[in-house]
Amino acid sequence: MKILVTGSNGLLGQKIVAQAIKHAIPFFATSIGENRNSNCPEQNYCALDITNRSEVMECIKRYNPTHILHTAAMTNVDQCELNPEACRTVNILAVEYLFSAAKEVNAHFQLLSTDFVFDGEKGNYSEEDNVNPLSVYADSKVQAEKLLLMDNYTNWSIVRTIIVYGVGENLSRTNIVCWAKSALQKGETLTIVDDQFRSPTWADDLAWACLEIAQREERGIFHISGPETMSIYALVRRIAEYYNLPTDSLKKSKSSELNHPANRPPKTGFDLTKAKNRLGYAPKTIEETLDLI
Ligand SMILES: NC(=O)c1ccc[n+]([C@@H]2O[C@H](COP(=O)([O-])OP(=O)(O)OC[C@H]3O[C@@H](n4cnc5c(N)ncnc54)[C@H](OP(=O)(O)O)[C@@H]3O)[C@@H](O)[C@H]2O)c1
């Protein structure tokens, strides 16, 4: 097994690199620009802009991986809404380049996707549920999934996940859990929605699942998230309670009051039966991870 990771400077990319090192899995890490993860040896790193078709093909042919774990994406939902062309280039066109390179070298191709492919009316989504994207970001992931779903080449997996959290080095963006902990510690007033329900996912659990799916050569769609669905407000309250931080500065709000550019599904959350049965996936609760943050 020889894996190639895209987006290795991102949160999930960093966790995959860490687990590959821990389990002595040969790997090659790529991301846009220089290597910002000091745990990733320079000899294992190569700058790769996934939107450059010839760079993608050249890099993949040179390393000749058995597995490609594609975590890189334009991940800020509101930025995607405001810059739809950039979003489609990174989240759809680049997947086309990477997937065709994967086919050239006969590698297993793994695409990271999102709970936002659903409209959030039902909740507890299984892999068989119908998608109905509400935003440019969500639609870009649906279109990227389609590239795989409609191809004759079936050596691929799609890993959908929900609010990924954890600590990383020099990340270009934070996540709700780290941000809330820091803001609560500073006593800042936090206005948090109580009408969006999610299952927050410990990045280390997700990285484990991505590697497990790759190692087992699993094909098809997998839903990978934390074990519990809660409102974002309830999540932040649990963080405050865990660290014994005051909650008087915590205010409830509704999504409609925030005027975000992108629409978000009200209630997602995943049915994890497939991941538990096929992979032995056993995700940690919020409280089990907070000491590790
Ligand atoms: N985070 C979540 O809550 C969440 C939820 C559902 C699904 N997902 C999906 O899970 C995957 C991993 O998410 P994450 O949390 O690790 O995201 P992340 O921390 O934002 O990492 C994404 C990485 O992609 C890199 N990237 C962006 N454009 C690129 C390009 N043109 N070429 C090469 N690399 C590029 C970014 O580089 P820079 O670091 O230089 O910006 C970043 O390192 C993504 O596909 C995301 O859509 C995430």
- Taking only the tens place, the pLDDT of each residue in 207-254 is 999 999 999 999 999 999 999 999 999 999 999 999 999 999 999 999
- Dist. CA 205 → ligand 1 center (Å): 17
Residue 22 belongs to domain with CATH number: 3.40.50.720
The answer to the question of residue 11 being in a domain is yes
Q: Kindly give the distance from the C-alpha atom of residue 244 to the centroid of ligand 1, in angstroms, as a whole number.
A: 32
Q: What is the residue with the minimal CA distance to atom 8 of ligand 1? A: 114
Residues near 88 by beta carbon (within 8 Å), at least 6 away in sequence: 136, 140, 143
What one-character-per-residue DSSP string does 38-101 give?
TTS-GGGEEE--TT-HHHHHHHHHHH--SEEEE------HHHHHH-HHHHHIIIIIHHHHHHHH
What is this structure's pTM?
A: 0.98
Residue 59 lies in a domain: yes
- In a domain? residue 291: no
Which atom number of ligand 1 is nearest to the Cα of residue 90?
31
- Domain membership flag for residue 261: no
Residue 244 belongs to some domain of the structure: no
Q: Tell me whether residue 239 is in a domain.
A: no
161 lines ligand 1 (CB under 6 A): yes
d(CA 87, CA 79): 8
> What one-letter code names the amino acid at 4?
L
* Binding site membership of 167 for ligand 1 (Cβ less than 6 Å): no
Q: How many domains does the chain have?
A: 1
Sequence letter at residue 257:
E
Q: Helix 53-63 to helix 94-104 angle, to the nearest 10 degrees? A: 30
- Tell me the CA–centroid distance for residue 199 and ligand 1, in Å: 19
**What is residue 145's predicted lDDT score, i.e. its pLDDT?**
99
Low pLDDT (below 70) residues in the chain: none
Residue 52: CB within 6 Å of ligand 1?
no
Which residue range(s) make up the domain with 84?
Answer: 3-167+200-228+269-284
Looking at the domain assignment, is residue 254 inside a domain? no
* Interval between CA 210 and ligand 1 midpoint (Å): 15
